[in-house]
A and B are shown apart, each in its own frame.
Chain A
Amino acid sequence: MLHTILAATLLAVAEPDSVINLSGVTVSGKARHDYQTQSSQSGIRVSHDYLRENLSGSLMQTLEHVPGVRAMKIGSGQSKPAIRGLGFNRMVVAENGIKHEGQQWGDDHGLEIDQFAIDRIDIVKGPAAILYGSDAIGGVIDLYSNNIPMAAVEASANLFCRSNNDLIGLAAKVGGRHGNWFYKANVTASQYADYKVPTDSIQYYSYYIKLDNRRLRNTAGRERDLSAALGYNGYNLNSTLHLTSTYSKSGFFANAHGLEVRLSDIDYDASVRDIDLPRQSVEHLKILSNTNWHNETLSVKADLAYQRNLREELSEPVSHGYMPKPDNPLERRFEKSTFTANANLRLALGEHNELKTGATLEHQHNRRSGWGFIIPDFDTRSFGAFVFDCYTVGSALKLNAGLRYDVARTTTECYTDWYTTPTADGGREYKQRAENLRRKFDSFTWSVGMCYSTGSWVAKANFGKSFRTPIPKELSADGINYHIFRYERGNAALKPEESYQADCSFSFENDVISWQTDPYVNYFPNYIYLCPTPDYVEGLQLYRYTQSEVLRYGIETQANYKIHSSLSLDVGGEYLFARQLSGEKKGYTLPFSTPWSANVGLKYTFEAIGGGHIVLNTNIVGKQSEIVPPEKPTDGHCTLNLALNKHFETGICKFNLSVKADNLLNKRYFDHTSFYRLINVPEAGRNFSVVLEVNL
C-alpha cells in the first residue's frame, strides 16, 4: 500500500533518533543514530503495525508494496526478496545483525523467516557492502526481533485467515522483564490449501491444463515456527540469546514442475489441503547471540551465530535420458551449516567525528544428496574487515566514507553420476559433473556519501562499490536442473562480481505535503549471468554462466498530500531499467526485470469508537516487454485493494482488527517476477484476509 511509501520522505524533518509514524508505516530519519554507518543511504523503516496491517502469505509478500522492494512469489506461501530488481545472492537478508543463510540461489527457494517474530525492519536500498561484505549489492533487509518487554508479563496473540487459499493461522507471543533480565517466546502455526486463480485452465505450449474449481493443484502448505530469547539489559551492557526454528512444507503446482508438463496417477483433486509430490520442505534453525557494551564515547558489539538450513525437494521419480527411474522421490536435499562471528567497535572522536570499525568471520558447510544433481558439496570460509568514518560539518552537512576488504575461500567437492552413460567408444561411464575446485576471491570495496538538510529539504548522495563472491553453483554446476528442465554449466574461471552505484535522494516535507524521490545508476563490469545458448547437452538446452557488463538505472518516488485532517492521498511509483552492454546477450535486459508500477491510495482516518482507518488503493503495473530468453512479455495490470484497521479495548485486553481485500475485482493478471510466470499461471484472485490481534 502506498501509504507505506511516504515513509522515507520524512527523513529530513526528523531529529536524530526521531521516529515518525505515518500512515501505519514508521519511517525513521536517516540520522546517525539509526544507521551510523550509512547516513547517506536511502532507507525505510517498517514497523510492527505495518506488518500486521499488510499481512500476506509470506514476509516478502507483506513487504511487497514498499517502494523498491519486490516479492518473487513461489505460490501463495513462499517468496524471495528483491530490492531494486536484484534478488537471489545480490541482496542480503539479515536478522539481528547476522546474515541469513539459506539456499538463496534457488528459483523456488523462499525466505525462511517467521513474520510474526519480527519487531521492525530496516530496508537499505543500494549497496551496503561496507557493513555486510559479499552480496549486499541491491540492498539489505535488516530484520530485528530485539524489542525488550516492558512489563513483568505480557502476552499477545494473532489469529489470521485468508480466503484465497483458506489459510488459517495463529501466532502467540509471551514475554516478561524482571529487573535487568527479560525473556520472550513466540509460536506461529499456519495451514493453507491450494490457492485460487481467476482461470479455468492454464495454457502452456499447446497443452491445456484444466483446473479443478480454479485452484492451482497441489500448492497447499503449512508452516510451524518457534522462537525464544533470553536477555540481559543493563546500563552499559546488554546481551541477548535468540533461538529460532522455522519449518515449512509446501507443494509445487502438480501439472508442470519446472518447465515440463506432466500428468500423474496421484489424485491431486481428492483434497485441496493435502501436499502431494512434487513438494518441498525446509527447516531453518538459528542460534544467535548479540552482546553490546557501551559508554559515552565507545561502543563494542559482538555477535555470534550458528544456522542450519535443511531443504528437501521431492518429486515423482522418472527416468530421464540415461538416468533410470530412481527408487525414491528425494530429488534434492541440501544441508547447510553456517557459523558467523561479527565484532564491531564505534568510537566518538570528538564532537563531530565518529569512527566505526568491524570484522566478520564466516564458515559455510554445504552437503547435498538426492538423485538430482545441481550443486556440489562445498565449504566456504570468508573474512572481511571495514573502517567507516562519519564527519559532521556544522549542523546541516554530514559526510561519510568507508573502506572494506574481504577474502573468501571456496572448496567444492567432485561429483559423479549415480548411473552410467554410454561413451563414444561403446563403453559406459559414471560421468563426472563437478570437479574438486579450490578458489580464493578477494575484493576491496568502498563508499562515500553526504547528507545535507536545510529547512524542510534533505538531499543525500552516495557513491560506492560492492561485490559478490561467485557461488559454487556458478563455479561448478554441470548437470540438469530438473526444476527448469535445462542443462546448467558453471564456469570455474568466474571473477568476483563487482558493482558501482551512484544514488541520491531528495525529500521535502511540511504539514501538508511530503515528497521524496530516489534515483540511482548502477554499473556492473562483470555481472554473472546464466546465458541460454543455442546448444544441447544430453537433450536439454545448455545454459552457461558468463560475465557481462550491465547498466541499470531507476527511480522511486512517493508523495503524500493531507487533504483534510482525516483524509490523505498517497501517490508513489517506481521504474527500473537494465541493459546488458556486452557478451552474447548484448542489448538484452536481465532476467526478472521489474516493470514500472504506480500506486494511488486514499486514506480516511476516524476517531469514533476507538479509532481506526480505511484505505482504498489502486496498484498499476506496466507491461514488461524487456525480456531475455526464456521469458515472455508480461502485460500490465491494475488491481483495486481495500483495507480497514480498527482498534478497540475491553477490560484488560486491547484488540486490533485488520481486514484487507486484495484484487477486489478478481482481475486475471500475471506477475513478471513470479516463479510460475514462465508456465502462464496467473496471480491469485480476489482475497480477503483478517488479522485479529489481542494484547494482554
Chain B
Amino acid sequence: MMVLLLALSACSNTDDSEKDLDMPQIADAGAATAPLNCQTFHTGETISFRYLFTDNVELGNYNIEIHNNFDHHTHSTSAEECEAEPVKAPHNPWVFNQSYCIPPKSISYTAENEILIPDDIDTGDYHFMIRLTDQAGWQQIKSVAIRIE
C-alpha cells in the first residue's frame, strides 16, 4: 500500500507544469491610461477606458462596474486616498455594469472602451471597478476612485 502511495505521488508530480497558478495582471497602458485614481469626469462626457491586461497562459474576460461611493465605503486598491465629498444619500446614482470579451489565445491585451456618463445622474464620488479573469479562473481586481461633476 505504501509503495502504491509513493508511486502515485511520484507520477502525480509530472502534470504540475500544465497548471496555471498565476493571476492575470492589470497594468497601466502608457500615457493614455484611464481612468486614473482620483481623476475627475463630467456628466455627458466619455470615459476613455484604457488598461493593459496580461496573463502567463490565456486571458479570460473583463468586467467594468461603476457604483457610487457616497457613503465612503472605500474599497480602493490604491494606496493613495482621494479627497472625498461629504457623505450623502443617493437619488439617481449611476450604475454601470458591463462585461467584455478578450480575443481567444491572448496573453496581452490593451482594453479600450468608451463609456458615456449619462447626463441625469447624481454627481459625486464613484468607484470604477475593473475585474479581469484568465481562462483558468484566476481573477484580478483593480478599484479606481473617480469623481463625477
Give the interface of A toward B (CB within 8 A): 205-208, 260-265, 318-322, 325, 504, 517, 519, 521, 531-541, 551, 553-555, 577, 579, 584-585, 587-588, 625, 627, 629-630, 633
Q: List 22 A-B contacts (CB under 8 A).
A: A207-B75, A208-B79, A260-B75, A261-B77, A262-B73, A263-B75, A265-B71, A265-B72, A319-B90, A521-B5, A532-B139, A534-B136, A535-B61, A536-B133, A539-B99, A540-B63, A553-B5, A554-B5, A584-B137, A627-B21, A629-B136, A633-B21
The one of A206, A262, A264, A322 in contact with B95, judged by C-beta atoms closer than 8 angstroms, is: A322
Complex: A205 Cα to B130 Cα, angstroms: 13
Instruction: Judge whether B137 and A629 touch: CB under 8 Å.
Output: yes
A695 to chain B, nearest CB (A): 45
Instruction: Judge whether B61 and A536 touch: CB under 8 Å.
Output: yes
Interface residues of B in 60-79 (CB under 8 A from A): 60-63, 65, 67-68, 71-79
Among residues of A, the one whose C-beta sits closest to the C-beta of B89 is A325
Asked if B35 lies at the interface with its beta carbon under 8 angstroms from chain A, I say: no
Complex: A156 Cα to B117 Cα, angstroms: 69
B67 contacts across to A, CB distance below 8 A: 319-321
**Looking at chain B's contact residues, is the secondary structure mostly helix, strand, loop, or mixed?**
mixed
Instruction: Judge whether A521 and B77 touch: CB under 8 Å.
Output: no
Among residues of B, the one whose C-beta sits closest to the C-beta of A504 is B1
Among residues of B, the one whose C-beta sits closest to the C-beta of A506 is B1
Asked if B138 lies at the interface with its beta carbon under 8 angstroms from chain A, I say: yes
Complex: A208 Cα to B76 Cα, angstroms: 10
A540 contacts across to B, CB distance below 8 A: 63, 131
B141 contacts across to A, CB distance below 8 A: 205
The one of A531, A627, A629, A633 in contact with B139, judged by C-beta atoms closer than 8 angstroms, is: A629
Lowest 6 A-B CB distances belong to which pairs? Answer: A534-B60, A532-B137, A536-B99, A539-B65, A629-B137, A536-B63
B91 to chain A, nearest CB (A): 11
B63 contacts across to A, CB distance below 8 A: 536, 539-540
Among residues of B, the one whose C-beta sits closest to the C-beta of A321 is B97
Instruction: Judge whether A318 and B73 touch: CB under 8 Å.
Output: yes
A625 contacts across to B, CB distance below 8 A: 21
A583 to chain B, nearest CB (A): 12
Q: A207-B76, A521-B4, A553-B8 are in contact. List 6 more A-B contacts (CB 8 A).
A: A533-B133, A536-B99, A539-B129, A540-B63, A629-B136, A629-B139
Complex: A26 Cα to B102 Cα, angstroms: 60
A548 to chain B, nearest CB (A): 13
Among residues of A, the one whose C-beta sits closest to the C-beta of B68 is A319
A207-B76, A264-B73 known; A534-B4 Cβ under 8 A? no
Instruction: Judge whether B139 and A630 touch: CB under 8 Å.
Output: yes
Complex: A535 Cα to B63 Cα, angstroms: 9
B129 contacts across to A, CB distance below 8 A: 539
Among residues of A, the one whose C-beta sits closest to the C-beta of B76 is A207
A320 contacts across to B, CB distance below 8 A: 67
A458 to chain B, nearest CB (A): 15
Instruction: Judge whether B2 and A555 touch: CB under 8 Å.
Output: yes
A205 contacts across to B, CB distance below 8 A: 77, 141
A534-B135, A630-B139 known; A318-B71 Cβ under 8 A? yes
| Size band of the interface chain B makes with A | 35 or more
The one of B9, B21, B131 in contact with A541, judged by C-beta atoms closer than 8 angstroms, is: B131
A207 contacts across to B, CB distance below 8 A: 75-77
Instruction: Judge whether B75 and A261 touch: CB under 8 Å.
Output: yes
Indicate the member of A261, A537, A538, A551 with the most B CB atoms within 10 Å.
Answer: A261
Asked if B19 lies at the interface with its beta carbon under 8 angstroms from chain A, I say: yes
A206 contacts across to B, CB distance below 8 A: 77-79
A515 to chain B, nearest CB (A): 14
B19 to chain A, nearest CB (A): 5
B53 to chain A, nearest CB (A): 12
B114 to chain A, nearest CB (A): 19
Complex: A540 Cα to B135 Cα, angstroms: 15
Interface residues of B in 1-23 (CB under 8 A from A): 1-2, 4-5, 8-9, 12, 15-16, 18-19, 21
A553 contacts across to B, CB distance below 8 A: 5, 8-9
Q: Mark B13-51, 1 if CB is under 8 A from A, else 0.
A: 001101101000000000000000000000000000000
Q: Mark B109-149, 1 if CB is under 8 A from A, else 0.
A: 00000000000000000000101011111110100000000
Instruction: Judge whether B5 and A519 touch: CB under 8 Å.
Output: yes
Complex: A536 Cα to B72 Cα, angstroms: 26
Complex: A540 Cα to B81 Cα, angstroms: 25
A261 contacts across to B, CB distance below 8 A: 75, 77
B18 contacts across to A, CB distance below 8 A: 587
Instruction: Judge whether A534 and B74 touch: CB under 8 Å.
Output: no
A325 contacts across to B, CB distance below 8 A: 90
Complex: A553 Cα to B129 Cα, angstroms: 41
A535-B133, A536-B61, A629-B137 known; A577-B9 Cβ under 8 A? yes
Instruction: Judge whether B93 and A539 touch: CB under 8 Å.
Output: no
A322 contacts across to B, CB distance below 8 A: 95, 97
Instruction: Judge whether B65 and A321 touch: CB under 8 Å.
Output: yes
Instruction: Judge whether A535 and B60 touch: CB under 8 Å.
Output: yes
A623 to chain B, nearest CB (A): 13
Among residues of A, the one whose C-beta sits closest to the C-beta of B138 is A629
Instruction: Judge whether B139 and A541 touch: CB under 8 Å.
Output: yes
B19 contacts across to A, CB distance below 8 A: 587-588
Indicate the member of B75, B76, B137 with the most A CB atoms within 10 Å.
Answer: B137
B139 contacts across to A, CB distance below 8 A: 532, 541, 629-630
Complex: A517 Cα to B131 Cα, angstroms: 47
Complex: A160 Cα to B72 Cα, angstroms: 41
B96 to chain A, nearest CB (A): 9
Instruction: Judge whether B73 and A534 touch: CB under 8 Å.
Output: no
Complex: A629 Cα to B133 Cα, angstroms: 11
Instruction: Judge whether A262 and B8 touch: CB under 8 Å.
Output: no
A579 contacts across to B, CB distance below 8 A: 12
B62 contacts across to A, CB distance below 8 A: 536
Complex: A536 Cα to B65 Cα, angstroms: 11
A534 contacts across to B, CB distance below 8 A: 60-61, 133-137
B72 contacts across to A, CB distance below 8 A: 263, 265
A318 contacts across to B, CB distance below 8 A: 71, 73
B101 to chain A, nearest CB (A): 9
A318-B71, A319-B67 known; A539-B97 Cβ under 8 A? yes
Among residues of B, the one whose C-beta sits closest to the C-beta of A555 is B5
A588 contacts across to B, CB distance below 8 A: 19
Complex: A261 Cα to B69 Cα, angstroms: 13
A522 to chain B, nearest CB (A): 12
B4 contacts across to A, CB distance below 8 A: 521
Complex: A90 Cα to B79 Cα, angstroms: 42
Instruction: Judge whether A577 and B12 touch: CB under 8 Å.
Output: yes
Complex: A321 Cα to B16 Cα, angstroms: 38
Complex: A455 Cα to B93 Cα, angstroms: 79
Complex: A627 Cα to B90 Cα, angstroms: 41
Instruction: Judge whether A538 and B76 touch: CB under 8 Å.
Output: no
Instruction: Judge whether B77 and A262 touch: CB under 8 Å.
Output: no
Complex: A630 Cα to B8 Cα, angstroms: 26
Instruction: Judge whether A536 and B95 touch: CB under 8 Å.
Output: no
B135 contacts across to A, CB distance below 8 A: 534
The one of A533, A538, A539 in contact with B137, judged by C-beta atoms closer than 8 angstroms, is: A533
A521-B4, A536-B61, A541-B139 known; A321-B77 Cβ under 8 A? no
A254 to chain B, nearest CB (A): 12
Complex: A625 Cα to B74 Cα, angstroms: 32
B133 contacts across to A, CB distance below 8 A: 533-536, 541
B16 contacts across to A, CB distance below 8 A: 587
Complex: A627 Cα to B134 Cα, angstroms: 16
A263 to chain B, nearest CB (A): 5
A263 contacts across to B, CB distance below 8 A: 72-75
